Amino acid sequence: MKKLVTIFAAVIFLFSSSVLFAGDKSIGNKSVSYEQIEATLLTGLNSDNFGLKVSSVYMLGEIKSGSAVNELTTLLRESDNEKVRLVAALSLLKIGTERSIFMVKQSRRFNASENVRDLCTHLYNSYLYQKFYEEQDGKVKLITFLMEP
């Protein structure tokens, strides 16, 4: 069973990595589309197989699936497994929509798991650092975000 999960995760990774580097959201031979991969990964979120579920959550973040934000948000708030919550937080940050970033920000305070709250704090701080980091006249400058209420 473990080998089957590993093989499935490797196949999903190969398909989605091709999507990431292809630029046109489709595989070179056009037999598998971005939408098909996304639909397969969304189906994997409902699996009882832990490895498949975590791999699907992670890969949805890698392909920046905007349509997965609702499902990932639900997993971040309600999953019984802390590891699924951690990967969901990372994926939401990678997706980078306004709503997904907001959910990571809110999870810093309101998530039931202390480990998830800590990770969300680190992820959100990293996001802020990248957002307010800029370069002027060849010199690196960090804009302070402490002025935000």
CATH code of the domain in which 48 resides = 1.25.10.10
Is 91 in contact with 63 (CB distance < 8 Å)?
Answer: no
The domain of 104 spans 2-142
- Give, rounded to a whole angstrom, the gap between the first and last alpha carbons of the chain: 50
The structural domain count of the chain equals 1
**Position 74 in a domain:** yes
The residue whose two tokens read 């009882």 is 48
**Position 148 in a domain:** no
Query: For each of the chain's 149 residues, which pLDDT tens digit applies?
Result: 666 556 555 556 655 555 455 555 555 556 889 999 999 999 999 999 999 999 999 999 999 999 999 999 999 999 999 999 999 999 999 999 999 999 999 999 999 999 999 999 999 998 988 887 765 555 555 554 444 44
| Count of positions (residues) in the chain | 149
Tokens of 110: 């309101």
The span from the CA of 10 to the CA of 22, in Å, is: 18
